[in-house]
A and B are shown apart, each in its own frame.
Chain A
Amino acid sequence: MLTFMNNSDSEEEPCNERTSLMSAESPPVPSYQDGLQASEAGEAQAHRKRRTGSSRSPNNVADGDMSDSSVPVRESASENEEEELTLKYGAKHVIMLFVPVTLCMIVVVATIKSVRFYTEKNGQLIYTPFSEDTPSVGQRLLNSVLNTIIMISVIVVMTVFLVLLYKYRCYKFIHGWLILSSLMLLFLFTYIYLGEVLKTYNVAMDYPTLFLVIWNFGAVGMICIHWKGPLQLQQAYLIMISALMALVFIKYLPEWSAWVILGAISIYDLMAVLCPKGPLRMLVETAQERNEPIFPALIYSSAMMWTVGMAKPDTAARGPSQQTWDAAEDGRENHRNPSHADSRMSEARGPVPTRPITSFEELEEEERGVKLGLGDFIFYSVLVGKAAATASGDWNTTLACFVAILIGLCLTLLLLAVFKKALPALPISITFGLVFYFSTDNLVRPFMDTLASHQLYI
C-alpha cells in the first residue's frame, strides 16, 4: 500500500491549484484595447434586453452600436440594473454550484457510510509520517501539527512549481502532468473503489467485465475532461474524481491531522489567492493576461464549453464553435429566448472586426458561468465525509456541516458578485464547517439525544 501511495504525489499537484473561485467576468485589461472593447460590447449585449444600448464606461466611444448622447443619462440606470442582474446571476450561480457540491458530498457520505474500507486505518500517506497512536494528548497534537506543516509545504512547493511552469510556458509538461494524474485517478482509484463497493455488497464480477467497465469509464473520462465532451458529462466526471480524491484523503489522513490540515489549508488558500505575490493569484492573473482558459482538468465550470485551441484566427473555425456555444446556451438557459442569444452574437460581431476572436469568445463565455476549483470540492467533501465517519452524532453532525458549507459557499458567491475578481472559496465555508462540526458534536448532540428520547420536540 505504501509504494502505491508514493505514486500519488502527482495527485497532490492538481489538488492545490483547484482552490480558487473565479469571477464570471474577467476585469478589463487596459493594455489590451480589443479586449476592453470586446468586454464592453459583451456586457452591453447582456443588458440588451433592458435598453437599446449603453456602455459602462463613458470613455468608450468607438463602439459602433452605442450612442454617445445616451451614455451619461443611462449611467445611473445602468448601475442599478447591473446590480439587479448581478443579484439575479448570483442566485442562478448559487444554484448552479449548489447542485454539484451537494452531489459530491452525497457520494462521499454514502460511500463512507456503507463501504467500511474507507474508515479503516491501513497506514498513512508518505506526507503525514507522524503517527497519531501516541498515548499522550500533547504528543498527538504535536504530531498532527508536524504532519500539517509537512503537507502544506508539499502543497506550496507544488503550487509554486506549477505556476513557474505556467509562467515559462512549459505547456506540454503541465499537460503531460495533468494527463498522468487524471489517468491515475480515473483508472487506479476507480478500480480500488469499485473493488471495495463490490466487496461490500458481495457481488461477484469477473476480471474481463471489470476491465471493460473500467477501461470505458476511464477512456471516456479522459476525453471528456481533457478534450471536448458534453458539458454535463464533464461535470459528472469532475465530481466523480473529486469524490474519489476526497475518499482517499479521508482514509489516509489521521484524525487530528485532518482537522488541522483543513484549517491550515483554508488559511493558505486565503493567502495564496489574495496576496499580491500569492501563487494562485499569479496563476489566475497570468491566465487572464494571456486570455487563455485555465486547464479544464483543474476547474469545474458551470456553464460553458471549452474550445480546444488557444488561437483560432479564422472565422471559419469560429463558426462551428459559436454554434456549439449557442446550442449549449440555448439548452441551459431557457428563460432567455434563443433569438436573444443569436442576436447577441450577431451584433457582437460588428464591433470586433477581425482580431483575437477567441479572446472575445472566451470573454463572452466567461460571462455565463462561475468556475469553482476542484480542490474546493475535494476539501468540502473531506470535511463532510470526516464528519460522517468519525462523529458519534452521525447524521445530525453531517447535516449541520453540510448546511454550514453551503452557506459559506453562498456568502463567497455574494462576495464574488461584489468584488468581481478571483476569490478563495475555502476559508469561509471551512470555518463555518469546522465550527459547526465541533459545536454540534459536543453540544448539540447530547441535547438532541435527550430530547428525542423523551419525545420532546422543539
Chain B
Amino acid sequence: ARERERGVPLFPRAFFWLVSLLLASLIWFISVQLSDRENAKLQYGLLVFGAAVSVLLQEAFRFAYFKLLKKADEGLAMISEDGRSPISLRQMAYVSGLSFGIISGAFSFVNVLADSVGPGTVGIHGDSPYYFITSAFLTMALVLLHTFWGVIFFDACERRRYWCLGLVVASHLLASGL
C-alpha cells in the first residue's frame, strides 16, 4: 500500500500538464485564426511559437505543482509521528517528473500508435519510411527527459539555485527546437 500511495501524485500532475497544454493550444489556435492561413512559412513559425509558449507554460505549471507539493509535504511532516514526511521529496520529484513525461509522451504518441496498427505504408509520399520508429524513440527520450527535468527542477527549487532552473527551461526549449 505504501508503494501505491506514492503513485497518487501522479494524476494531479498529469492534470496540470493537460491544463498547460490546453492554454497553449488556445493561444496557438487564436493566433492561427488571426493570422493568414495561406502562408506556409508563417504557419510553421506560428507552430514553433506555439510550441515555445507551451514549453514555458509547462515549466510554469511544474513550478506551481512543486509549490503545491511542498505545502502538502509540510502539512504531512507536521503531523506524522516521526517528524518526517512519509514520502521523501526526491521520490515526489521522481513521480511528478515521470507523470509529466508519461502524459506528454502518451499525448504525442498515441495517435501515431493507433494509426500504425491500421493499414497503410509508411512514407509513401516521399517522407522517410522510418517515421514510426523515430517517433517511438523520440517519445521515449522525451519521457526520460521530463523525468530528469522534474528531479532537477525540484532539487533546484529546494536549494534555491535559480541558475539550475534556467538551465532546465533552456534545455527544454532546446530539445523541442531541434
Residues of A within 8 A of B (CB): 50, 80-81, 83-84, 87-88, 91-92, 94-95, 98, 333-335, 393-396, 399-400, 403-404, 406-407, 410, 436, 439-440, 442-444, 446-452, 454-458
Least CB separation from A336: chain B residue: B1
Given A83-B79, A454-B44, A455-B134, A447-B28 contact (CB < 8 Å): yes
Select B111's contact among A88, A394, A456, beta carbons within 8 Å: A394
Q: With A and B bound together, what is the CA distance between A452 and B138 in angstroms?
A: 11
Q: With A and B bound together, what is the CA distance between A92 and B4 in angstroms?
A: 8
Q: Are the C-beta atoms of B15 and A403 separated by less than 8 Å? A: yes
Select B22's contact among A84, A440, A451, A454, beta carbons within 8 Å: A440
Q: Are the C-beta atoms of B8 and A91 separated by less than 8 Å? A: yes
Select B76's contact among A87, A95, A456, beta carbons within 8 Å: A87
Q: In terms of DSSP, what is the predominant structure of the interface of chain B?
A: helix
Min CB distance A91 to B, Å, is 5
Contacts of B78 in A (CB 8 A): 80
CB of B2 within 8 Å of the partner chain: yes
With A439-B22, A458-B108 known, 15 other A-B pairs at CB within 8 A are: A84-B80, A87-B76, A88-B5, A333-B1, A394-B110, A399-B103, A399-B110, A404-B18, A410-B12, A440-B22, A443-B22, A443-B25, A443-B26, A448-B107, A458-B51
Contacts of B26 in A (CB 8 A): 439, 443
CB of B169 within 8 Å of the partner chain: no
Given A399-B106, A457-B175, A447-B18 contact (CB < 8 Å): no
Min CB distance A389 to B, Å, is 14
Min CB distance B55 to A, Å, is 6
Min CB distance A441 to B, Å, is 11
Contacts of A443 in B (CB 8 A): 22, 25-26, 29
CB of B88 within 8 Å of the partner chain: no
CB of B147 within 8 Å of the partner chain: no
Within 8 A of A (CB), among B125-150: 131, 134-135, 138-139, 142
Contacts of B162 in A (CB 8 A): none
Given A83-B79, A84-B76, A451-B108 contact (CB < 8 Å): yes
Contacts of A50 in B (CB 8 A): 81
Pairs of residues from A and B, 4 with the lowest C-beta to C-beta distance, nearest first:
A447-B25, A395-B110, A84-B79, A407-B15
Given A84-B80, A396-B111, A403-B103 contact (CB < 8 Å): yes
Contacts of B21 in A (CB 8 A): 444, 447, 458
Contacts of A87 in B (CB 8 A): 75-76
Contacts of B8 in A (CB 8 A): 91, 94-95
Least CB separation from B53: chain A residue: A458
Least CB separation from B104: chain A residue: A458
Q: Are the C-beta atoms of A458 and B55 separated by less than 8 Å? A: yes
Q: Are the C-beta atoms of B51 and A456 separated by less than 8 Å? A: yes
Least CB separation from A398: chain B residue: B110
CB of B50 within 8 Å of the partner chain: yes
Within 8 A of A (CB), among B54-99: 54-55, 58, 75-76, 78-81
Q: Are the C-beta atoms of A403 and B28 separated by less than 8 Å? A: no
CB of B24 within 8 Å of the partner chain: yes
Within 8 A of A (CB), among B1-33: 1-2, 4-5, 7-8, 11-12, 14-15, 18, 21-22, 24-26, 28-29
Q: With A and B bound together, what is the CA distance between A452 and B175 in angstroms?
A: 15
Contacts of A455 in B (CB 8 A): 131, 134-135, 138
CB of B156 within 8 Å of the partner chain: no
Given A50-B81, A335-B2, A406-B11, A456-B18 contact (CB < 8 Å): no
Least CB separation from B2: chain A residue: A335
Given A447-B29, A455-B134, A334-B1 contact (CB < 8 Å): yes
